[in-house]
Structure 1
Amino acid sequence: MRAERRRGALAASVAGRLMRLPPAVTRDVRVTRGIRVPMRDGVVLLADHYAPAGGGRPPTLLVRNPYGWDLPIGLLYGRLYAERGYQVLVQRCRGTFGSGGTFEPWVQEAADGRDTASWMSGQDWYPGEFATIGASYLGYVQWALLDDPPPGLRGMVVQMGPHEYARVTWPGGAFALDTMAGWASMLSHPKRGPVRDTLRQLHEKRRLRRIAYRELPLGPAVARALGRDHPHLDAWLAHEAGDDPYWSASDHSAGLAGHPGVPVLLQGNWYDAFLPQTLQQYALLRAGGAAPRLTVGPWTHTAIGRWWPAFMTDSLDWLAGVFSEPEPEPVTGHGVRPGREFVPERRAVPGSGRGAADGTAEPDPVRLFVLGAEEWRGFDAWPPRALSRRWYLHPGGRLDPSPPPPSVPDRYRYDPADPTPAVGGAWTGAGCGPRDNRALEARADVLTFTTDPLEADLDVVGEVSAELYVRSTLAHTDFFARLCDVHPDGRSVDITDGLIRVRPGSGAAGEVDTDGVLALVLELAPTACRFRAGHRIRLQVSSGAHPRFARNPGSGEPTASAVRLLAAEQEIHHDPRRPSAVRLGVLPSGG
């Protein structure tokens, strides 16, 4: 036991130095492993308890996760927070890493979370209240708990956690192939240890790219690539429509709007696939009367070494505020009076526009890292007040504030047998994030429209959309739009993008005129970016980003079983009657 404590303290010390974390309160952490937590149906889930060795009843954090291993989950959420004054229960979700039952994504999380909270109330170390914390699926389980909040839930720190999975799985109507195939692979292969699991996942990623992302039909190709069936992935592929009742079990939107009494800290990243949901969560909570705090950084979902230090510092500040507020009344029937022997110190947080949260000033409720400016800025709310401005597509690849002149449409051919590749962007695969797009833009199936060099800095903060008038030779096709920051040296760096799948009767398209031209509105992910003087704004238009999105075969066949690939001839119109444009939210000068 002492050797384990020493090893754990050494690992935490190294992690703290590498990530420049706030200083630890103690290095002596007591870890109790394999705690058995009974559920209402008799299933037993396993958990590890991390606490400062000094005893007492410090503020409690609950982490529920399907990924299990002490590295990195136990280190990052258990030991590092325990060293800073918290006790943390890190539980393994049903059917994962020794916990009983069968793991079915999102099905049991609400009930299991409430049962775990009820069990905690009977433990002698429990102070009568707790907060939850975690990223990705560890954030999703928190939204499930909010549907019917248990007594004692004082706050939630949701880091890039979706609250429903229909739009995660089928964003814009196209299957999020690489993200969901990679997640299904993580969930389904045997667990042999963090190092061996990571190596196996890397090997399977390569096989997915070499086999599953090239061969058809897609469903069987994934099974061939990985050498086993994937029931979760098969089910996700089988339910394409966002309004399919299959997805209702994953949707916790109602809980967000219905429980304003639970404080929430939302943490997201501009290059995270779940960013639109993070911002929607903010809007739902505000509409329900809550006052969430929001932090958005510049990183990707998987760049944990980059976002963790900022998010942990941010969460420590916020949690200290939550647990330093007046204590609630005792929870009846639980046999434990709320109380605490230790309240963590509030710390300064990078990115606050009003200084440290140390009693001298309140942190900004919304803190955004502004791309291009490479700085944090504070705002009172999201989205901040901005001017909605259009830049119109013109012939010759120009993007201009003035409406377009009479012109013929631009054309390109999209061939799903040679799909337009994914380069950069907000997803979880290799090559995500900000990337130089010049090689992609040189392809014949990608159109670009670019402004003249800007005369002054332009701050784009808020919603982004592309209003496109399009025509295709196929009834089933995709359109993809991307906003880029073009540097003086020619680099074209992606800022945000979005895709929409067009199919008859889907409602994705707007009005169709007598010439068969469709009016589309592509909702790109919101952003905060400063386009500096001398830079140019560019809009890309294409029909895919594979394997981030499963290619549209053009035949109308289901994504899982499609075998026919049909090429589409695409038109983008830009004339006074059909003025295609990109709409940006621009902060007033000095705003």
Structure 2
Amino acid sequence: MNLGSHLTQRLLRLPPPLTRDVAVDHDLRVPMRDGAVLLADRWRPRSGGDGLPTVLLRIPYGRAGMAAGPMVRPLAERGFQVLIQSTRGTFGSGGTFDPMRGEREDGLDTVDWVIGQPWFGESMVLYGMSYLGFVQWAMADQLPPQVRAMIPAVSESALSLEFLREDGFSLETPFGWGVMVAGQERRWAIPRQLLEARRVRRAMSTLPLGGADVAAMGQRSAYIQDVLAHDADAPRWAQLDHSHRVADVAVPVSSVGGWYDIALPGQLRDHQALQAAGRQARLTVGPWTHTARGVGVTAVGEALGFGLAHARGEQPAERAPVRLFVMGEEAWRDFPSWPPPGYTPQRFHLHPGGVLSTDTPGESAPDGYRYDPADPTPAVGGVRLAVGVKGGRVDNSGLEARPDVLTYTTPVLDTDVEVIGEVGAEIWFRSSLAHADVFVRLCDVDAKGRSTNVCDGLVGLTGADRTSRATVRLWPTAHSFRRGHRIRVQVSSGAFPRYNRNPGTGEPRATATTLRAGNQEVFHDPEHPSAVLLPVGPVIRRNGSAERELDNGLDMSGLDN
């Protein structure tokens, strides 16, 4: 019995394979245009593998073990041959690993090399999650006709730039990723990461932050230093932005994302660009974080359905262009586009006394709280990518009990309120300091009073000591607030360490050494009508299991974690 095959089949909820007898050709040498040689492994059925459609995965995390095996084996057992390549400077591949740079040239060189191999048939599919999706976008506008489809999951064409915004630096994701890749080729790397996770979290409180890499792992990281020194719009990152290529992608694309994924806003932007250009594209978004099992289950299903059909010159099973898991309703629903038609932004205003209402606020004094970066408002659940940290939907009661978090809540709903699309907030705000952040979170409060986060976002302000309107872009969502529940909005000034704490001084993030507490005010009066903007649509009652199932026949409504 092939235990790995059976475990992968069960983990990914797959039907039995065509074969479990798979062979691996290790350390194939793939030359690049600059003379570097990258290593790759070819997985294939032991008999009859030559000429099958090829799946190409390009990965910086190694070609074996937990990082690669569950992605590769199910494809090689079910109709594909698979080439998995270590990106430049990782796991035996030549050159220097400079994250996310050079992937366009290396990817195109690899595609050309594959097409020239005697075992190649007539078609290729690009596939993979996160970094493995980014490398697809990097070359997607210049693919040869042998490439028949792309399946990027929890990824986008400008991966990492959302984290590096000057007005909202997402510290946790790039810092934790930088520490991880710096030590990934050590012996027992994964157990070490688990054991060292607490030290990495403590390191993010280092002052100045420029010393956090040494505090976390005892050495400097060029990538982390770049992240701390250069904002998203700096020339240093220009090579990482491939969003201008998306409209020119000619191959069919099936994207898989999660409502609590780090890459979701950019992924939806990419899908909209494909839509606007009239390209063949479909999108699936579930109730998932970046590393949730449901992402892997769905992505493999798309590779074996959408990808294999296109590779064979066939059309995949028909389905709507957009399939979304509507949280609250806990059901899958189909739509013609993103954002779906029929959902209109509606203003839910903040009122005194912690009330949230569609009514315009009357005259009232502002609410206040004190934000202290020495005891920063913590990140709780939501969009997280860190070892040992739970993301996604969690109980917010502890967070909402803090004195530095304001809450505004509707009365009990007498009908369902369905929110699907882009979510924003306009918060009239003033601080005692010139530099401050505004964090807004949308929550669903159930009949028992449990508050669960739906989506959120943060914006940093300069000139915050003057009353001004902070425009906050929250993560997009699809959520049904059920009758008997209440809608809640949190307002605070941080979510650490997901976002870097604002020191209140205006010092550069890498070199700031002083932490200054600020007194914050949130206004809600006719001249300053703070509100959250929710895309509200008609609620359509749906019954039966069809809305809960994907094309591969899997009900994944419970795969949150």
Residue 558 of structure 2 corresponds to none
Q: Aligned-pair distance for 1:73?
A: 3.6
Residue 354 of structure 1 corresponds to none
Residue 332 of structure 1 corresponds to none
**The one of 353, 363, 374 aligned to 1:417:** 374
Residue 237 of structure 1 corresponds to 228
Does residue 140 (structure 1) correspond to residue 90 (structure 2)? The answer is no
Task: Write the deviation string for residues 262-319 of structure 1: whole angstroms up to 9, x where unpaired.
Answer: 111110000111111110111111222213100001111122x333223322332211
SS of the counterpart of 2:69?
A: helix
| Paired residue type of 1:217 | P
Q: Aligned-pair distance for 1:79?
A: 1.2
The answer to whether the 8 Å contact 1:172/1:499 transfers is no
Residue 497 of structure 1 corresponds to 456
Residue 193 of structure 2 corresponds to 201
| Paired residue type of 1:205 | A
Residue 85 of structure 1 corresponds to 79
Mapping of residues 66-145 of structure 1, within 5 Å? 66-145=60-139
The answer to whether the 8 Å contact 2:53/2:122 transfers is no
What's the TM-score, normalizing by structure 1?
Answer: 0.88
| Paired residue type of 1:391 | F
Whole-angstrom CA distance in 1 between matches of 2:153 and 2:56: 14
| Paired residue type of 1:203 | L
Whole-angstrom CA distance in 1 between matches of 2:159 and 2:381: 22
Residue 44 of structure 1 corresponds to 37
**The one of 452, 461, 484 aligned to 1:534:** 484
Residue 462 of structure 1 corresponds to 421
Residue 307 of structure 1 corresponds to 295
Mapping of residues 220-231 of structure 1, within 5 Å? 220-231=211-222
Q: Aligned-pair distance for 1:53?
A: 2.0
Does residue 216 (structure 1) correspond to residue 207 (structure 2)? The answer is yes
Residue 511 of structure 2 corresponds to 561
**The one of 354, 359, 364 aligned to 2:320:** 364
Q: Aligned-pair distance for 1:567?
A: 0.9
Residue 240 of structure 2 corresponds to 250
Task: Write the deviation string for residues 386-407 of structure 1: whole angstroms up to 9, x where unpaired.
Answer: 1221111000000011111110
Residue 286 of structure 1 corresponds to 275
SS of the counterpart of 2:353?
A: helix
Whole-angstrom CA distance in 2 between matches of 1:145 and 1:243: 21
The answer to whether the 8 Å contact 1:36/1:46 transfers is yes
The answer to whether the 8 Å contact 2:436/2:461 transfers is yes
SS of the counterpart of 2:72?
A: helix
**The one of 38, 42, 46 aligned to 1:53:** 46
Residue 163 of structure 1 corresponds to 157
Q: Aligned-pair distance for 1:172?
A: 6.7
Task: Write the deviation string for residues 115-153 of structure 1: whole angstroms up to 9, x where unpaired.
Answer: 111111211111132110000000110011114223422
The answer to whether the 8 Å contact 2:123/2:312 transfers is no
**The one of 361, 379, 397 aligned to 1:404:** 361
Q: Aligned-pair distance for 1:442?
A: 0.6
The answer to whether the 8 Å contact 1:147/1:254 transfers is no
Mapping of residues 441-452 of structure 1, within 5 Å? 441-452=400-411
| Paired residue type of 2:335 | F
| Paired residue type of 1:321 | A
Task: Write the deviation string for residues 494-553 of structure 1: whole angstroms up to 9, x where unpaired.
Answer: 00000001125xxxx8xxxxx931112111011000111100000000000001111010
Residue 572 of structure 1 corresponds to 522
Whole-angstrom CA distance in 2 between matches of 1:312 and 1:457: 34
SS of the counterpart of 1:234?
A: helix
The list of structure 1 runs, each at least 4 consecutive aligned residues, that deviate by more than 4 angstroms after superposition, is none
Q: Aligned-pair distance for 1:556?
A: 0.6
| Paired residue type of 1:309 | V
Change (3 A) 1:278 1:28: same
| Paired residue type of 1:70 | A
Task: Write the deviation string for residues 144-177 of structure 1: whole angstroms up to 9, x where unpaired.
Answer: 1114223422111000113114533224723221
SS of the counterpart of 2:528?
A: coil
Q: Aligned-pair distance for 1:564?
A: 0.7
The answer to whether the 8 Å contact 1:95/1:103 transfers is yes
SS of the counterpart of 2:126?
A: strand
Q: Aligned-pair distance for 1:221?
A: 2.9
Does residue 378 (structure 1) correspond to residue 334 (structure 2)? The answer is yes
User: What count of residue pairs does the alignment treat as equivalent?
Assistant: 537
SS of the counterpart of 1:72?
A: helix
Whole-angstrom CA distance in 2 between matches of 1:384 and 1:313: 24
Whole-angstrom CA distance in 2 between matches of 1:171 and 1:532: 35
Residue 336 of structure 1 corresponds to none
The answer to whether the 8 Å contact 2:324/2:333 transfers is yes
**The one of 175, 178, 181 aligned to 1:184:** 178
SS of the counterpart of 1:484?
A: strand
Mapping of residues 269-348 of structure 1, within 5 Å? 269-303=258-292, 305-325=293-313
Whole-angstrom CA distance in 2 between matches of 1:469 and 1:281: 31
Q: Aligned-pair distance for 1:245?
A: 1.1
Task: Write the deviation string for residues 187-207 of structure 1: whole angstroms up to 9, x where unpaired.
Answer: 1125145xx111111233211
Change (3 A) 1:213 1:135: same
The answer to whether the 8 Å contact 2:71/2:300 transfers is no
Residue 497 of structure 2 corresponds to 547
The answer to whether the 8 Å contact 2:461/2:470 transfers is no
Whole-angstrom CA distance in 2 between matches of 1:435 and 1:235: 33
Moved more, 125-134 or 164-173: 164-173
Whole-angstrom CA distance in 1 between matches of 2:63 and 2:140: 26
% identical equivalent positions: 48
| Paired residue type of 2:133 | G
Q: CA RMSD in A?
A: 1.7
SS of the counterpart of 1:525?
A: coil
The answer to whether the 8 Å contact 1:366/1:381 transfers is yes
What's the TM-score, normalizing by structure 2?
Answer: 0.93
Whole-angstrom CA distance in 2 between matches of 1:153 and 1:316: 16
The answer to whether the 8 Å contact 1:215/1:221 transfers is yes
